[in-house]
Amino acid sequence: MRSALLVFAASLALWGAASAQPLPSYVGSQPTAQTEPVASLTLNQAVKLALDANYSLSSARYAAGSTDGVVLQAQTRPNPVLGIEVEDTARRASRTTTTTLSMPIELGGKRGARIAAAELTRDIARQDLQQVRADVRSQTVAAFFDVLIAQEQVALATKTVEIARDAYRIADRRVEAGKVAPLDANRAQVELANAELEKAQATSSLKLARHSLAALWGNPSPLFTKVEADIVALPGRPDLDDLTAALERSPRMQSARLELERSQARIEVERSKRYPNLTVSAGVIRNNELGRNQMMLGVSIPLPFFDRNQGNVYEASMLAYKSRDDYRGLKVGLQTQLQRAANEFDIAKITTQRFESEILPSASTAFDRAKKGFEAGKFGFIEVLDAQRTLFRARVQQLSARSDAYQALAQIDRILGRDSL
């Protein structure tokens, strides 16, 4: 009988070791720089590159995948325990050997409560993964339009250099003709130098923006030469009530609701631990002095006189209240962020439209008139210089307002957890 118990226990141990799941091999997400266009890059291409190869997103995928192991572990049952005890080891004739096999039995619904909490952990991780996808997409959209606006600023600065160079040539000819003082030519030369400096700064900003965008898919040296998108007309945004309704379906809000459920599930886990586990034992006692084997059966259970897990139940209850307030605070905070982003977009769109419909046309007309008047000898170079500066400043402000509008839209998408265009 004792040999049978030993063989059975050994078989269980070998079966458990053989059936253990092997560790998954690591397959990292590699940058897909070879798929990056070497010419122009569209917004769809940029988002796809980032979602395929962003390291933060890859890390979040592994984090979400790890929670499958949490559920698997929660589903496991306690292992049996093999025990061997030898008495009177010095004398073989009077030696007594006891072999027991014990099996813990969980009571109080521990396993079911544990599985429920683990499954909620997995669901939360999946929602967190969706939010990371949305964050990466939002970052990519914002970085893409940073490049696009930087390209426009370089083009504007290039055009300003051309205007300043033409103005300098005109001023220089008029000085040679004796129509104006040399001071006008000096001012035009200074303005040309400033325009060239601003062009160099815009070019540097464009280079930095290109690297920031390519870094989102793990490429430190961008291959694309430019980005392409229609920035003529700004898109509209949904009504604020629709945005608020969409917020309820966002990954962050769903994750917070699941966290609230998990906090309740953890209370049930701790409450289930108030019920002690039952241990059933069976074994054989080999008495060499008597020359026979004796069967033994046993049942043991802890008596919860003092420790009823009351401290852990109280802690879990307090953490549940914390999760409730965290959920409420997150909801208010996201609603405030959403309202702010919507207002920022509205202001930026109104500002952009005002510049495009009124300010830029007026500044452009004023500059053309001042330039023609200067060429005709009606105005001095100061008037041309002021008109040129006004036009340049208006164009920069218009581009800045348009950039603010796109950034606000990207922020709205991030808050709502949108991960597709």
Whether 84 shows a pLDDT value over 70: the answer reads yes
Phi, psi (degrees; rounded to nearest 5) at 226: -160, 165
Name, in order, each residue with C-beta under 8 angstroms of 7's C-beta and a sequence gap of 6 or more: none
- For 282-292, letters b (16+ CB in 10 Å) and e give ebbbbeeeeee
Pick the more confident residue, 91 or 219. 219
Determine which of 63-72, 252-261, 367-376 has the lowest per-residue pLDDT on average: 367-376
pLDDT at 5: 46
pLDDT at 420: 62
Find the mean pLDDT for residues 219-238.
83
Whether 36 shows a pLDDT value over 70: the answer reads yes
Pick the more confident residue, 27 or 399. 399
State which of 166-175, 181-190, 343-352, 371-380 shows the largest mean pLDDT. 343-352
State which of 12-26, 74-88, 180-194 shows the largest mean pLDDT. 74-88
Whether 73 shows a pLDDT value over 70: the answer reads yes
Q: 76: pLDDT confidence band, cut at 50, 70 and 90? A: very high
Residue 192, token pair as written in the block: 């040309």
Nearest to 411 by CA among 342, 321, 308, 335: 342
Find the mean pLDDT for residues 206-223.
94
Whether 44 shows a pLDDT value over 80: the answer reads yes
Whether 119 shows a pLDDT value over 90: the answer reads yes
Fold classification of 43-79+109-275+311-416 is Outer membrane efflux proteins (OEP) (1.20.1600)
Longest dimension (CA), the chain: 135
Pick the more confident residue, 106 or 180. 106
Pick the more confident residue, 138 or 9. 138
Cβ count within 10 A of residue 101 = 18
Q: Which runs of consecutive H residues, i.e. helices, occur in 273-359?
A: 310-354
Find the mean pLDDT for residues 23-44.
65
pLDDT at 400: 86
Evaluate whether 97 touches 286 at the Cβ level (below 8 Å): yes
Name, in order, each residue with C-beta under 8 angstroms of 303's C-beta and a sequence gap of 6 or more: 276
Whether 27 shows a pLDDT value over 50: the answer reads no
Q: 396: pLDDT confidence band, cut at 50, 70 and 90? A: confident
Query: pLDDT (tens digit, 9 = 90+) per residue, 330-359?
Result: 999 999 999 999 999 999 999 999 999 999
Evaluate whether 380 touches 95 at the Cβ level (below 8 Å): no
Find the mean pLDDT for residues 29-50.
78
DSSP bridge pairs for 42: 228
pLDDT at 231: 64
Query: pLDDT (tens digit, 9 = 90+) per residue, 184-200?
Result: 788 888 888 998 999 99
pLDDT at 31: 44
Find the mean pLDDT for residues 304-333.
95
pLDDT at 134: 92
Query: pLDDT (tens digit, 9 = 90+) per residue, 234-260?
Result: 778 888 899 999 999 999 999 999 999
Query: What is the average pLDDT value for the chain, to the nearest integer?
Result: 87
Evaluate whether 229 touches 91 at the Cβ level (below 8 Å): no
Confidence (pTM) = 0.81
Q: 18: pLDDT confidence band, cut at 50, 70 and 90? A: very low
Pick the more confident residue, 12 or 296. 296
Whether 35 shows a pLDDT value over 90: the answer reads no
Q: 38: pLDDT confidence band, cut at 50, 70 and 90? A: confident
